[in-house]
Chains A and B, each alone.
Chain A
Amino acid sequence: MKKKLVSVLLTTVMGASVLAGCGSGEAESVAEEAQDTAETVTEVAQEAASTVEEVKEEVKEEVQDYGTGEIKVWVADAVVDFTKSEIDQFMSDNPQYSGYTVTVEAVGEGDAASNMITDVTAGADIYGFAQDQTARLVAAGALVDVAPENVDAIKNENAAGAVVAATVGDTLYSYPMTADNGYFLYYDKSVVTDPSTLEGILEQCEAAGKNFYMDMTGWYQVSYFFGTGCTLTFDSDNDGNFTACNMDYDSDKGLVALKKMIEVASSKAFQPGSSAGDAVNYAAIIDGTWDASTVKDFLGDNYACAKLPTFTGSDGKTYQMSGFNGCKLLGVKPQEDENKLAVCDALALFLTSEKVQLDRYNEVGWGPSNLKAQQDSAVKADEALSALSEQFAYTIPQGQYPGDYWSNAEALAGDVQGKLQGASDDDLKAALKDFQEKVSAAR
């Protein structure tokens, strides 16, 4: 119990030091205050075991001096300049961290995750990544759990889906940065008059000789399977290891979804792909907000966005296409120096705060995960973001999936466009059974 009390007090001290910083004179007085608090802490701590005394001394140092060091930040190319200017602001507001120099490097979310896993020690101290990497990063020891004093605030202030994505087992491992990792429909108003059904969209694209782009790989194909009511989730323990798979693709629901995928892939308007930059001559594309400006440039005045359409299954029923909703996260890697860790924690917290999330939206258009920032009028007026949030009502938060799921799903997508075209129901059932077996066995 006493330990807990101490830690709460320490938290307050650290919080105070984080908040300190409105000009140097004031900072000094705050620092003194903090020192006083620290002394009261030591009084309490004297009664505790010797281990706690160690803590006391370290804490005393922390409050006064964070030492010096270098902090490396990896973010996607699009936000490098933005992140730099925000960090400059942060450092000038917080002179107690002046011993640290922060460098920002452009490393995309995918590269960042795989680099961190390859060599944690050479990786960045703070880095952005997509939520599907959380379990891998935790398992490889590339993420440190969020400082206990920040956990509740993060959980309360951010969208529930984003918090789920940042959590492995029951530990919060990272800071939600955006909640816009999902997909919806971009379309050409002049070609597609009614974006509400998949069949209608394909028909109109075919008639106009335009393309309909949709990716059939793991992240996108769930829009069919989850749409017909299938489930696919994995349970993981606190170390990021997968313990169980909940999956029912090998069922009638799964068959309906698979048949629809094959039917869509056989349309002459269909093109596999989800990158607007690589797409040509399209009247509809299922893509995310990150491509909004590319699509806007391409479609011009005919640019429009909508939630994903419904489709009519082979059983005659109508299903709403589903999907994942996800987010980008900011992680801090394990540190051997507690002072540096405290600075990293503070910096990561700042970079994912309401203000910075809103700034980031205004600067590069990344949709915020912070609930207050989401209520901002500019955010609410964004066409793509509102289509996405409409779609989010039909999606499930993307938890953790093992690498084998993604590679098997990509393989299924290959087969949907290849050898499963024109296959009998029995063959399709066999393929689903096979898929389910392989994915369930994944760890």
Chain B
Amino acid sequence: MSNASGKKGNPVGNFFVSLGNALKDIGVIFVKGDWKTKISYVIMGFGQIMRGQFLRGGMYLAIEALFIWFLTAFGGKYFMKLNTLGTIETYKKNRKTVYGDHSFLILLFGLLTLFFILFIIYLWYRNIKENKEQELILKSGKSLPGNKADFQSLFDSNFDKTLLALPVTGVFAFTVLPIVFMICVAFTNYDATHQAPTKLFTWVGLSNFKNLFSFDTGGFGNTFLGVLLWTLVWALLATFIDYFLGIAVALLINKKGVKFKKFWRTCLVLTIAVPQFVSLLYVSKMFDSAGIINGTLKKLGIIENSIPFWTDPLLAKITIVVVNIWIGIPYLMLMATGLLMNIPADLYESARIDGATPWQMFRHITMPYMLFVTGPYLLTSYTGNLNNFNVIYLLTGGAPKSMSYAGGAGATDLLVTWLYKMTINDTDYKMAAAIGIMIFIVTAVIALGVYRMLPSVKDEEGFQ
């Protein structure tokens, strides 16, 4: 990709253009800069300190020192092995075990070191640019801001840096790094038979993805498609059934003439308040082949054999959707109650004067308004349901299993519960990682694709 091809609007091109410019800057500044700037190329922050900005320069220097210490004392040895993920095997000396390379830690800390190096390069570039700017300011006869002003700016013009420093670091360490790590795992053979520290694991290219899309015996292709389909259907059912029923219940409670509105609402809201692991585990036992529901129906003589709520694949799916209504309606009811009050009353008034029936008013005023306003909510709710772990895990754990599925998946498994099982039961991290990436792709495609089509997004963009 040459610089010339980078037109505006082409992110890849733009990136290379700015990269080229940065490289040019680095060269030009070194040639034109004074000796303080030149030394700053090796000792970060040197120029700043020499020009009186101890706080700023000291920060650069401290980070550089930290980096060198980190690289030599800790990160370097992992980083060097990143290409092989370790070569020294574990062996036994007499009865004692001597552990070899720990592939897991090599990958993890190797990546951490890599990120640190990239960060230092960026900081180094900033440091050079800053030297140049300071030179320019001094040349034009102005003076640099003092240390005190520099410090105070952290609470004013640079307040965003103060506010975001900790949260961004946290997200990096506990979200970005682990995600990049797991993406890498999808390209290794890390599983139950390559368990660190006893065994080494290494890079294997795309073979896990080939397996995921293989339709031979033992391949994951059929299972993956089956589970994916159910995941999509489930999210659709869970989102929209709850949505419409929730609005219906909200309308019912808000109906003119219905008293004790607060009481009805409070009863429903209990489902949100009581922790799900208590209520859902109880509900799952209610539907058990020997649970209260089957027991009562048998006592009443309605059925002879237990209804296999959790053991029949289709019935289990239906039961889950039904139980999810029980969970979902209260949220929707609360939300819809709030939103319904926002609908301008004069809309209804003028409709009534025109002789509209309540149903017509619902169809032409309430529903369009709700759909318009809650568009983004429906989308997040759909993507949320794609990954609705709690409901599936606490109710069925993915059961019933069927022979037509590989990899321990069951009929009610979502991709995310399947991923969980692979991690916990089978310690098959490589496939779990591959599935995790697929979940991301599915979610991202749906979320970004639908988001652009939402009417409320287009109209409310200027709201800020």
Contacts and interface: CB of A to CB of B under 8 A. Distances in A.
Direct A/B contact, Cβ within 8 angstroms: yes
Interface stretch (A116-124, A193-201, A247-255, A384-392): A116-124
Contacts of A118: 427
A271 B310 CA distance: 12
A22 interface: no
Interface in A398-443: 403, 407-408, 410-415, 417-419, 431, 434-435, 437-438, 441
A118 B192 CA distance: 8
A402 to B, nearest CB: 10
B95 A141 contact: no
B98 A336 contact: yes
Contact of A271 (B289, B402, B411): B289
A372 interface: no
A426 B173 CA distance: 57
A319 B122 CA distance: 76
A435 to B, nearest CB: 6
Given A117-B195, A336-B96, A414 B401 contact: yes
A336 B99 contact: yes
Contacts of A136: 192
A19 interface: no
Nearest to A408: B403
A418 B304 CA distance: 17
7 contacts: A140-B427, A141-B197, A280-B290, A334-B97, A335-B96, A434-B403, A441-B218
Contacts of A55: 94
Nearest to A58: B94
Contacts of A142: 198
Interface in B354-369: none
Interface of A: 55, 58, 114, 117-118, 120-121, 136, 139-142, 144, 147, 211, 241, 268, 271-273, 278-281, 334-338, 341-342, 403, 407-408, 410-415, 417-419, 431, 434-435, 437-438, 441
A438 B97 contact: no
A159 to B, nearest CB: 27
Nearest to B102: A121
Given A114-B425, A139-B192, A438-B218, A144 B97 contact: yes
B311 interface: yes
A437 B217 contact: yes
Contacts of A337: 96
Nearest to A270: B305
Contacts of B34: none
A44 B98 CA distance: 27
A435 B408 CA distance: 14
Interface-central residue, A120, A334, A411, by most chain B CB under 10 Å: A411
B402 A268 contact: no
B193 A120 contact: no
Contacts of A342: 95
B424 interface: yes
A120 B197 contact: yes
Given A268-B305, A271-B306, A438-B403, A140 B311 contact: no
Given A141-B197, A278-B288, A412-B403, 7 more contacts: A121-B197, A334-B198, A335-B97, A336-B97, A418-B400, A431-B403, A438-B403
Contact of B308 (A121, A139, A415, A417): A417
Given A418-B311, A418-B313, A241 B96 contact: no
A441 B290 CA distance: 36
A272 B310 CA distance: 11
Interface in B397-449: 399-408, 410-411, 424-427
Contact of B311 (A272, A338, A408): A272
Contacts of B96: 335-338, 341
Contacts of B97: 144, 334-336
Contacts of B192: 117, 136, 139-140, 403
A114 B195 CA distance: 12
Nearest to B399: A414
Nearest to A239: B193
Contacts of A141: 90, 195, 197-199
B95 A120 contact: no
Nearest to A281: B290
B133 interface: no
B76 interface: no
Contacts of B195: 117, 120, 139-141
Nearest to A121: B197
B313 A414 contact: yes
A418 B312 contact: yes
A435 B290 CA distance: 29
B58 interface: no
A286 B213 CA distance: 41
B375 interface: no
Given A338-B95, A341-B95, A268 B290 contact: no
Interface in B56-79: none
A55 B93 CA distance: 10
Nearest to B90: A141
Contacts of B94: 55, 58, 338
Contact of B426 (A120, A280, A403): A403
B374 to A, nearest CB: 38
Contacts of A273: 289-290
Given A241-B193, A438-B217, A114 B403 contact: no
A287 to B, nearest CB: 14
Contacts of B313: 414, 418-419
Given A280-B290, A403-B426, A144 B405 contact: no
Contacts of A341: 95-96
Contacts of A434: 403
A338 B92 CA distance: 11
Contacts of A335: 96-97
Contacts of B311: 272, 414, 417-418
Contacts of A410: 401
Nearest to B295: A280
B197 to A, nearest CB: 7
Nearest to A437: B217
Contacts of B198: 120, 140-142, 334
A259 to B, nearest CB: 17
A272 B312 CA distance: 12
A342 B195 CA distance: 25
